[in-house]
Chain A
Amino acid sequence: MMRWLPRDRMLWLAAPALFYLAFFYAMPLIYLLGRSVIGPNGPTLSLFAGFFADEYNWRVIGNTLRIALLVTLVSLVIGYPVALALARARGLAQVMLLTAIILPLSVGVVVKAFAWQIVLRRDGAIAKLLVATGIWDEPQRLLFTEPGLVIGAANVFLPFMILPIYSVVKLIDPRLSEAGATLGASPIYRFRKIILPLTMPGLISGMAFVFSLSVSMFVIPSLLMGDRFQTLATLTGRSFLLMRNEALGSATAVVLLVLAVSIVVGSTILSRRIGKAA
């Protein structure tokens, strides 16, 4: 069809976008990576040697990974059943679930983090709820504590766990499970041998999404934890915006970038391999 543009020359239509991204996005990232390993006297790893020699930075890395792991776990425990429910839901239940998942996605993180600041206060909704149910004897402050941060972050990132799992659950033929039942398989056996393996690719990509978002979150810990608690992302932000320490900032930025890229690439390879095996 395209008379004036044969299909093998379609690349020209993509050229403006590709040049734009190459110039304003890929080149700056490469420049950042390059500057972190090239010193005044040629290639050097001194920036990272210095960074990893400091014990404080290891604590920061520990904070980052621990929080990200907890947020991923909480999101998984809530998100997996919700994805199963969403795949079965019809009518009003489906609309409500979809709304609760999609609407918060288009509301900014500053808005949600601010709301959690209100909820997690000593006189906030969660403290009142826990006292009313008798779990706590007296109201406590969750704001500026790690559990508070994990709750807030899990709330913001939960849709990124639910949606990838839902995208594979909805493709599962319900007759598979029925066939298993006819053949005498117990519900637990069917879940382990049919549902779980088939949802594994979605599970992995959901976990990778939430983990890498939690590793890189900046606004949420700034508002829910304050300055005493640093993660790689908050330290990166602080060293550029407040401390004007570009060396430290570049080191943490590169560590963060490498971490995020390896999570995305690793999870893609893993879920492809499992997808083929299933």
Chain B
Amino acid sequence: MTAIEKLATALIWTIASLAVIFLMAPLVITVAVSFGDSTVFSLPPPGWSLRWYERLPTTRGLAASLWTSVQIAALSTLLALILGTLCAIALVRGTFPGREAITTFLISPLMLPGLVVGIAMLQGFRAFGLRDTWTSLLVAHVIITMPYVVRTVLAALSLFDFTLIEAARTLGCSYLQAIRKVLVPALAPAFLTSGMFAFLASMDNYPISIFFTDAWTKTLPIQMLQLVEERPDPMIAAVSTLLILLAVLAMIVGDRLVGLKRLADF
């Protein structure tokens, strides 16, 4: 290696190490603050305590918003898995025209400004006569979760060898048996991974949910931001830490199922 190559390599690795610190900093700081015993956000905290976690169950609105978020995230992920998987099978196996355009259309909610999509839905749903907040939230969140399912299941299906189904049929399986015994197990990791990340995307969504909340129905991020604005204290960090824990779990399961490198596929 020449001197300039050594210099470039050293520079790349220095930036990469600093980037790891930079990227992890908000998560690490949130966790540290949540276990501190000071009411201001001094770092490192003067002492450690669980007082912010003890306050979570009694904070008004928090449990209710968590329950709303979990319900909406679970149901919207389930609906997205059903609709998205059927659609992905059609896109991979079908021979109809416009498949690439349809794929772009299905993924597009990830690329458009969430706030604009939210406003459009708010006005659109009103025009359709859909006024119930909870139902509107659910209907809107399927649009948020669907791209995650379509993207991952499409990738898994394009690696799947469909002649395996024919092989199972030759070996005496009925059509539905062949699907259940061959296709479903092959897609299971994709279902679980995309389902988890779709669930998290729904749990964390702010810009679309904000248009479908009222005094009784709020999702967790909406309630959290309201608390941040009303009285910022480390209790928010305690809620955040639980959400970070959820993300860590999702990543560990995702790593086991498909591997970290495939999670990074873009």
- Chain A positions near chain B (C-beta within 8 angstroms): 1-4, 7-8, 10-14, 16-18, 20-21, 24-29, 31-32, 35, 78-79, 81-82, 84-86, 88-89, 94-104, 106-112, 114-119, 121, 123-125, 155, 158-159, 163-164, 166-167, 186-188, 191, 212, 215-216, 218-219, 222-223, 233, 236-237, 240-241, 249-250, 253, 256-257, 260-261, 264
Q: Are A17 and B84 in contact (CB under 8 A)?
A: yes
Question: In whole angstroms, how far apart are the Cα atoms of A165 and B184 in the complex?
Answer: 33
Question: In whole angstroms, how far apart are the Cα atoms of A29 and B228 in the complex?
Answer: 31
Which residues of chain B are within 8 angstroms of A256 by Cβ–Cβ distance?
Answer: 113, 115-116
Which residues of chain A are within 8 angstroms of B29 by Cβ–Cβ distance?
Answer: 115, 118-119, 125
Q: Are B96 and A11 in contact (CB under 8 A)?
A: yes
Q: Are A97 and B16 in contact (CB under 8 A)?
A: yes
Q: A14-B91, A17-B87 are in contact. Are A100 and B24 (CB under 8 A)?
A: yes
| Count of CB-CB pairs between chains A and B under 8 Å | 282
Q: Are A102 and B251 in contact (CB under 8 A)?
A: yes
Residues facing A in B241-266 (CB within 8 A) are 243-244, 247-248, 250-251, 260-261, 263-266
Residues facing A in B5-34 (CB within 8 A) are 5, 8, 11-13, 15-16, 19-20, 22-27, 29-30, 33
Secondary structure dominating the interface of B: helix
- Chain B positions near chain A (C-beta within 8 angstroms): 2, 4-5, 8, 11-13, 15-16, 19-20, 22-27, 29-30, 33, 41-43, 83-84, 86-87, 89-91, 93-96, 102, 105-106, 109, 111-117, 119-125, 127, 139-140, 142-143, 146, 150, 162, 165-166, 169, 175, 197, 200-201, 203-207, 210-211, 221, 224-225, 228, 232, 236-237, 240, 243-244, 247-248, 250-251, 260-261, 263-266
Question: In whole angstroms, how far apart are the Cα atoms of A25 and B125 in the complex?
Answer: 10
Please give me the residue from chain A that is nearest to B84 by CB atom: A17
Partner of A81, one of B16, B120, B142, B232: B16
Q: Are A110 and B204 in contact (CB under 8 A)?
A: yes
Closest 9 CB pairs of A and B: A28-B124, A108-B204, A10-B94, A216-B113, A115-B26, A85-B16, A14-B90, A17-B87, A13-B90
Q: Are B124 and A32 in contact (CB under 8 A)?
A: yes
Q: Are B111 and A24 in contact (CB under 8 A)?
A: no
Listed A/B pairs (7) with beta-carbon separation below 8 Å: A1-B162, A78-B22, A81-B19, A118-B30, A158-B23, A236-B115, A241-B211
